[in-house]
């Protein structure tokens, strides 16, 4: 018997019985569910997942199987969210964000997930940094996101990761792609992170109307990608044993609490407000 089955049954979850990995080394829903639980994920957790499908390896059923693992395990008692960003395509010329149609620019899993409207997935109405979510608090999570005028506003979805005690999982993609850290820098008033001007964007609302949404964009005067330095926080998190590690399929994973990321970042920025920046 797989080690995770008793844990799962405690919360009323009975995984599919079968081989964990097929003879051709293809990962299955059962084996990936076991990996998920072994990372310390509980059925009533709230979790945001940054992901690389390629890093997982061959999966029976492909990306849909991976998403089924997340949703079947978490959606009833917790919340599962994936970023569904569109910052790459939204511009002065293409300035209308339609959450029903605008593709996600952050990976195949996020694009397939945000299309699962028929299964209950909701997408936030943020023109550049939307999040797709399914779970018991999904409607609350995306509520009033169209009112946010910065990439990761404190009152919006990215701030709710902190308020709702979300975990953040980095699945095969490393920890540099930590959008939440953009938010923490924004909330702690790190200078030179946002444009001074607002870009004139519009959002297609549920009733088909257009909502004017002037939006600040990420920016720093060096012209470099600040997120490439976001892995600098990892040793400080690991020193305090605030990082769970393991594998999901073939992918190396890190799981961290949003609250811990916030607290450690606040300490680091207190000593050096430009901790994640580049030397002039």
* Domain membership flag for residue 33: yes
* Domain membership flag for residue 32: yes
- Answer yes or no: is pLDDT of 9 > 80: no
Among 179, 202, 64, which residue's Cα sits nearest to residue 121?
64
Q: Distance between CA atoms of 101 and 206, rounded to whole angstroms?
A: 12
User: How high is the pLDDT of residue 5?
Assistant: 32
Is residue 102 classed as helix, strand or coil in its secondary structure?
coil
- Answer yes or no: is pLDDT of 11 > 80: no
User: How high is the pLDDT of residue 12?
Assistant: 52
Confidence of residue 278 (pLDDT cuts 50, 70, 90): confident
* Domain membership flag for residue 144: yes
Q: Distance between CA atoms of 260 and 237, rounded to whole angstroms?
A: 8
* Domain membership flag for residue 277: no
Q: Distance between CA atoms of 63 and 42, rounded to whole angstroms?
A: 22
* Domain membership flag for residue 279: no
pTM value is 0.92
* Domain membership flag for residue 278: no
Is residue 230 classed as helix, strand or coil in its secondary structure?
helix
* Domain membership flag for residue 222: yes
Among 83, 61, 88, which residue's Cα sits nearest to residue 72?
61
Q: How many domains does the chain have?
A: 1
User: How high is the pLDDT of residue 25?
Assistant: 80
* Domain membership flag for residue 280: no
Q: Distance between CA atoms of 121 and 75, rounded to whole angstroms?
A: 10
Q: Are strands 79-83 and 46-51 parallel, antiparallel or unpaired?
A: parallel
The answer to which of 1-10, 23-32, 244-253 has the lowest mean pLDDT is 1-10
Instruction: Give 69: exposed, middle or buried? Use CB within 10 Å, 0-12, 13-18, 19+.
Output: buried
Domain that holds residue 215: 5-271
How high is the mean pLDDT of the chain? 92
The model's pLDDT over 110-132, given as tens digits with 9 standing for 90+, comes to: 999 999 999 999 999 999 999 99
Beta strands in the chain (DSSP E): 46-51, 79-83, 96-97, 122-123, 131-135, 167-171, 199-204, 210-215, 244-248, 251-257
The model's pLDDT over 210-255, given as tens digits with 9 standing for 90+, comes to: 999 999 999 999 999 999 999 999 999 999 999 999 999 999 999 9
User: How high is the pLDDT of residue 279?
Assistant: 73
The model's pLDDT over 137-189, given as tens digits with 9 standing for 90+, comes to: 999 999 999 999 999 999 999 999 999 999 999 999 999 999 999 999 999 99
């Amino acid at each position: 018997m797989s080690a995770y089955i008793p844990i799962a049954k405690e919360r009323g979850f009975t995984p599919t019985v079968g081989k964990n990995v097929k003879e051709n080394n293809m990962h299955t829903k059962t084996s990936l569910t076991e990996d998920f639980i072994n990372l310390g994920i509980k059925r009533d957790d709230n979790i945001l997942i940054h992901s690389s499908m390629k890093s997982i390896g061959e999966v029976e059923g492909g990306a849909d199987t991976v998403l089924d693992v997340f949703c079947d395990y978490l959606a009833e008692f917790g919340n599962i969210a994936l970023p569904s960003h569109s910052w790459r395509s939204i511009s002065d010329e293409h300035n209308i964000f339609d959450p029903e149609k605008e593709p996600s620019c952050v990976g195949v899993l996020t694009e397939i997930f945000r299309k699962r409207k028929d299964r209950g997935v909701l997408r936030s109405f943020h023109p550049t940094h939307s999040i797709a979510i399914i779970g018991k608090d999904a409607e609350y999570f995306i509520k009033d996101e169209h009112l946010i005028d910065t990439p990761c506003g404190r009152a919006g979805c990215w701030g709710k990761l902190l308020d709702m005690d979300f975990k953040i999982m980095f699945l095969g993609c490393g920890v540099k792609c930590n959008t939440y850290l953009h938010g923490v820098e924004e909330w702690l008033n790190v200078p030179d992170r946002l444009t001074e001007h607002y870009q004139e964007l519009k959002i297609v609302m549920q009733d088909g109307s257009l909502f004017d949404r002037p939006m600040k964009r990420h920016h720093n005067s060096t012209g470099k990608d600040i997120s490439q330095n976001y892995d600098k926080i990892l040793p400080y998190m690991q020193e305090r044993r605030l990082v769970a590690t393991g594998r999901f399929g073939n992918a190396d994973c890190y799981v961290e609490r949003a609250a811990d990321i916030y607290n450690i970042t606040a300490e680091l920025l207190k000593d050096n407000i430009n901790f994640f920046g580049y030397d002039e």
